Structure 1
Amino acid sequence: MIFLKSEEEVLLIKESAQLLGKAHAEVAKWIKPGVATKQLDKVADEFIRDHKGHPSFKGYNGFPSALCISLNDIVVHGFPSQYQLKEGDIISIDCGVKLNGFHSDSAYTYPIGNVSPEVSNLLKRTKQSLYLGIEQAVEGKRVGDIGYAVQTYVEKFGYGVVRELVGHGVGRNLHEGPEVPNYGKKGQGPRLREGIVIAIEPMITLGKRNVVQEKDGWTIRTTDRKPAAHFEHTVLVRKGKAEILTTFKYIEEVTQNTTLMVSV
């Protein structure tokens, strides 16, 4: 079901999204070689709860953690672990917050130290594709316009667009309608109306688009073991121009003087 949010509900989602952005920034402070990914999860969990929120992912269909932490060839839904970050890794941090009865959802992929130029470009272009998708999230367009914008941009670089996982509506439930694929055709799919809140989240691979689910039932990995990047915002459909409800501002205040910055 697709729900239209009132302006009062949008304000509540914005509060959730601000807390989410700040939680991401707290995690970003810890992202460096030698840090275990379980520590990142602990930081996020405690920060969200200390500010009267709830980590949306923790307990969702049995997921054990506040963060999905996906390294290198893991696309999404990776578990925090005792793995220690090392130079040359990339790490996707996906987090959700429930506050005031409403969820928000966002993701950001970081390079650890120096990464190869081709991996650095993958991150930059995946992030850029997110904003190209967001430009299409306006009243009167269709969901396919978002996917088309993402797909046509990244495929010209030879990247793969993951098809088994998609963006989604966000609100009182973490996942609502409509589904928002990162591929599609112009003018196809559900019509976008003002008040729809969606998570747009390009999941883009350096190699082929094919993925496999690990035996844990969660972790999604590229079949060719090439790196993947993931960026996500929660977005409100408006007339004329979409409104981004989540924020990377706090992340980039932390990373602007480090090698973690992903510019576009």
Structure 2
Amino acid sequence: MIQLKSPREIALMREAGRLVNRALEAARRLAVPGATTADLDEAVAAVFREAGATPLFLGYPCSTKGKPAFPAVICSSVNEHVVHGIPNRRPLREGDVVSVDTGCRLNGWCGDSAVTLAVGEVAPDVKKLLAVTAETLDLAVRAMGRCRLWSEVAAVMEQYVKSQGFYVIEKFVGHGIGKDMHEEPQVPNFVSKALRRNDIRLEPGVVLAVEPMVAMGTKDVRTLDDGWTVETRDRRPSAHFEHTIAMTPDGPEVLTLP
């Protein structure tokens, strides 16, 4: 069941969302050739620590039996890695792309956001991939202002991605968010029979983490042996953008912006 948030609760989530935005900006400044994803993780951790916020990803339990909890504050997914990549000390190279996904709990309420960053100059087709994925998220925000049901928004997202020659990754979806990072409902970026049976009414108080994941060559993915890192099966690049978005009487509000 969807947990509707009051205006006061949305205001608290706005504070958490803005802090997540500041943390991602710290990571953005470091995403240059020669830096490491561990450097980005340390920068984000410092922003949360200074604000007295709790990182949501650090210590999150793994869904694969026998695998360890997530060991970092950010998920850093490079090139063909889609989501849930573990930060490491391998230097980023010119032409890489890195998805940085993070979240925190501040004063009891959560914010969650992701951005995919170009490291130096990237190939034209990769630049288009990032632009299309970012625009897919922007389209979703705008559509939430005129649509009554999430399936209508998901259709807009899916159709746009396909029109640009890319693929919507269907294995992973967005989610409700509030006092916990993952709440009901699941928020897919595509239309399915399951979504039509359990559609989401876009009414004031609904808060969703919307996160399109788009691939260059295939929607098929696999999880690596670490139990976390997800990559495209053809090992071509992917991109991932995410915002926490609240429905208000005046329409959708992106909480993970300055």
Query: 1:72 matched to which residue of 2?
Result: 79
Query: 1:143 matched to which residue of 2?
Result: 150
Q: After the TM superposition, which parts of structure 1 deviate over 6 Å for at least 4 consecutive aligned residues?
A: none
Provide, for residues 159-217 of structure 1, a one-character-per-residue CA deviation record: whole Å limited to 9, x for no partner.
Answer: 11111100000100100111110101699322222101001100000111110111111
Q: Which runs of 5+ in 2 are unaligned?
A: 62-68
CA contact (8 A) 2:215 2:232 kept: yes
Provide, for residues 117-152 of structure 1, a one-character-per-residue CA deviation record: whole Å limited to 9, x for no partner.
Answer: 110001001000001112232486212122111100
* Letter in structure 2 aligned against 1:132: L
Deviates more, 1:130-139 or 1:57-66: 130-139
1:88 maps to 2:95: yes
- Choose the corresponding residue for 1:223, options 220, 230, 233: 233
Task: Say which SS state the counterpart of residue 5 (structure 2) adopts.
Answer: coil
Task: Say which SS state the counterpart of residue 2 (structure 2) adopts.
Answer: coil
TM-score normalised per structure 1: 0.90
Query: 2:174 matched to which residue of 1?
Result: 167
Query: 1:193 matched to which residue of 2?
Result: 203
Q: Which runs of 5+ in 1 are unaligned?
A: 250-264
Return the alpha-carbon distance in structure 1 between the equivalents of residues 135 and 147 of structure 2.
23
Return the alpha-carbon distance in structure 1 between the equivalents of residues 98 and 201 of structure 2.
34
1:59 CA drift (Å):
1.0
Return the alpha-carbon distance in structure 2 between the equivalents of residues 27 and 123 of structure 1.
17
Identity percentage of aligned residues? 39
Return the alpha-carbon distance in structure 2 between the equivalents of residues 228 and 239 of structure 1.
35
User: What is the aligned-residue RMSD (CA, Å)?
Assistant: 1.6
Query: 1:259 matched to which residue of 2?
Result: none
- Choose the corresponding residue for 1:235, options 236, 245, 250: 245
1:60 maps to 2:60: yes
Query: 2:23 matched to which residue of 1?
Result: 23
Query: 2:64 matched to which residue of 1?
Result: none
Return the alpha-carbon distance in structure 2 between the equivalents of residues 139 and 102 of structure 1.
27
Count of matched residue positions in the alignment of Structure 1 and Structure 2: 248
CA contact (8 A) 1:147 1:184 kept: yes
* Letter in structure 2 aligned against 1:21: N
1:211 maps to 2:218: no
* Letter in structure 2 aligned against 1:4: L
1:239 CA drift (Å):
4.1
Query: 1:262 matched to which residue of 2?
Result: none
